[in-house]
Amino acid sequence: MLTTLIIQMDKLQSGANMETRFDEQFREGYEQRKRFFSLDQYYIDEDGFHYFMIIRRVPSLYEANKRAEAGKFRKDANGKITEFEEIFLTPILSDKEAHDKGVALLHEYITTGNIDKYKNDISYVEFPNLTWTYNKEKKAWVNAGLDSLLKKN
């Protein structure tokens, strides 16, 4: 499960693209990256949505080097992930802070359907923000303003 989530959320392996990233030839690269991730929270609701939160070690010059990332998905009859969506990324924090703030954010999302209460608090949420949102079709964080500028040019 963790490897599958990493493939959904992590940078693409060299030579992979969004369509080929699940191909067997790239799996070993994602498996090697598992040492940077841990599955911290996991919950399945009555509608079949799977909610998760991972703690991810990120490069940092400082002692704080963790980030909580959460999302949700469904599974089809064959167990394949569908309707994948990332919900939030915290800023880089200490391990305890990433866990505590991530749990608070995930609980808020599961109980209210949004994290609007925290959305503009940069000590809790790095993404989404005023410019970056998660695009389910692209399965990536996108900058709507930048995308519209690029389309014009």
pTM: 0.87
Q: Is residue 78 part of a domain?
A: yes
106 in helix, strand or coil? helix
Q: Is residue 152 part of a domain?
A: no
Q: Is residue 138 part of a domain?
A: no
Q: Is residue 147 part of a domain?
A: no
pLDDT at res. 108: 97
- The answer, yes or no, to whether residue 95 has pLDDT greater than 90, is yes
Query: Radius of gyration over alpha carbons of the chain, in Å?
Result: 16
Domain count, the chain: 1
Q: Is residue 89 part of a domain?
A: yes
Q: Is residue 77 part of a domain?
A: yes
Range of the domain at 29: 2-126
Q: 104-146, pLDDT tens digit by residue?
A: 999 999 999 999 999 889 999 999 998 899 999 888 899 977 6
Kindly state the average pLDDT of the residues 86-102.
96
DSSP-assigned states of every residue in 34-103: GGGEEEEEEEE-TTS-EEEEEEEE---SSS--EEEEEEEEEE-TTS-EEEEEEEEE--SB-HHHHHHHHH
> Do residues 18 and 12 lie in contact, with contact meaning Cβ atoms separated by under 8 Å?
yes
Mean pLDDT of the chain: 91
Kindly state the average pLDDT of the residues 69-78.
96
Kindly state the average pLDDT of the residues 34-49.
95
> Do residues 56 and 66 lie in contact, with contact meaning Cβ atoms separated by under 8 Å?
yes
Q: How far is CA 8 from the centre of its chain?
A: 8
Q: Is residue 150 part of a domain?
A: no
Q: What is the DSSP letter of 127?
A: B
